[in-house]
Amino acid sequence: MNKTILGYVPEESPIYNTHPATRILFLLIVSLFPMFISAPEWNLLLVVLILILMRYSRIDFSILKLYVPVAVSMGSIILLSYTVFAGNHPEFHELARVLGIRIYYERILDAITVYFRILPMIFIMIYFLSTSRERDIIVAMRSLRIPYAVTYLVAMALRAVGMVIEDFSIVRQAEQARGFDPVGKSIFYKMRKFVMYIIPLFALALRRADEFANALIARGYSFTGLLSNPKRADYVLTHYQAHYWDYLISFVLIVMLVALVVMRYGLGMLSLEGSLTEQLLRAWLLN
């Protein structure tokens, strides 16, 4: 199993046949797709395609449970933002009035449009984080000729995230060993007690900074050395090779992006007006 940023993915997952730079390109380009699509059904289709891709990549779907509260929270907030906090608009079709708040058909349609625009972006991010290991991001950055100092900083930062999570777990266990038990307590209690984690985390990080820096200096690293792109032993020893399908995927992604821009702004397609969602909602709420 490969440990990725969000979980574990089998080593034989087909996603690892692609070059890490292709996966970064996928994140950056496909995240743009929903911005050119207003019709919710097309964005929903994009979500379904990403789910299929997740299944194909053998990602454990239980990771999605973590994001259910986020998706529900975002959906609720968008809906509130577009209904309760949307103000008075006599030009819109009023559907109902709840406690003096006017609910408009156009605002509900807008909320659905926005929600279904943001949803694929979340799924793309989950897909990327579920399949990417720290080393993939570093390799991708090196392939893109990003300066050594920047790549090294990102590598250390990603490693630091893992270390802080371990530290967090150690601190939590230490607190529990001393009788601290937040189970069943309110969220405000937990937030207040968060200080018991943040100070040890900082203190550990400060101590570790010295150890880290000393270790690097002992290996001949210097700030100027970091900046001047010297040849150094690479701690990522696996050699990645871009295959023809990497170029093909990259090319297809770029073509799809251009096609979407043309469809949206040249041909007026993928817009909300006349979309299936709009027709269904209009039939349901207005007729």
Instruction: Kindly write out the interface string for residues 15-34 of this chain, putting x where it contacts other proteins by CB under 8 A and - elsewhere.
Output: ------------xx--xx--
Residue 199 as a binder of other proteins (CB under 8 A): the answer is yes
Burial of residue 67, with CB atoms counted within 10 A of its CB: 0-12 exposed, 13-18 middle, 19 or more buried? middle
Q: How far is CA 23 from the centre of its chain?
A: 13
Q: How far is Cα 104 from Cα 1, in angstroms, rounded to an integer?
A: 50
Which backbone phi and psi does 93 adopt, to 5 degrees? -85, 115
For residue 21, is it left (φ>0), alpha (ψ between -120 and 50) or beta? alpha
Instruction: Name the token pair of 131.
Output: 């399949």
Stretch that binds other proteins, among 106-114, 237-245, 254-262, 275-283 (CB under 8 A): 106-114
Q: Does 205 bind other proteins (CB under 8 A)?
A: yes
Please name the residue ranges forming H helices in 83-194.
105-131, 134-143, 148-177, 187-192
Stretches 14-22, 41-49, 145-153, 250-258: which one binds other proteins (CB under 8 A)?
145-153
Stretch that binds other proteins, among 62-70, 177-185, 245-253, 274-282 (CB under 8 A): 62-70
1 binds other proteins (CB under 8 A): no
Instruction: Give the one residue of 46, 59, 110, 278 binding other proteins; rule: CB under 8 A.
Output: 110
Q: Are strands 2-3 and 8-9 parallel, antiparallel or unpaired?
A: antiparallel
Interaction between residue 95 and other proteins (CB under 8 A): no
Angle at 2 (CA atoms; ends 48, 155), nearest 5 degrees: 100
The closest of 25, 11, 65 to 249, measured between CA atoms, is 25
Interface characters, 212-251, with other proteins (x: CB under 8 A): xx--xx---xxx--x-------------------------
- What is the contact surface with other proteins in residues (CB under 8 A)? 5-6, 27-28, 31-32, 35, 66-67, 69-71, 73-74, 77-78, 80-82, 85-87, 107, 110, 114, 117-118, 121-122, 124-126, 129, 149, 152-153, 156-157, 159-165, 168, 187, 190-191, 194-195, 198-199, 201-203, 205-206, 208-210, 212-213, 216-217, 221-223, 226
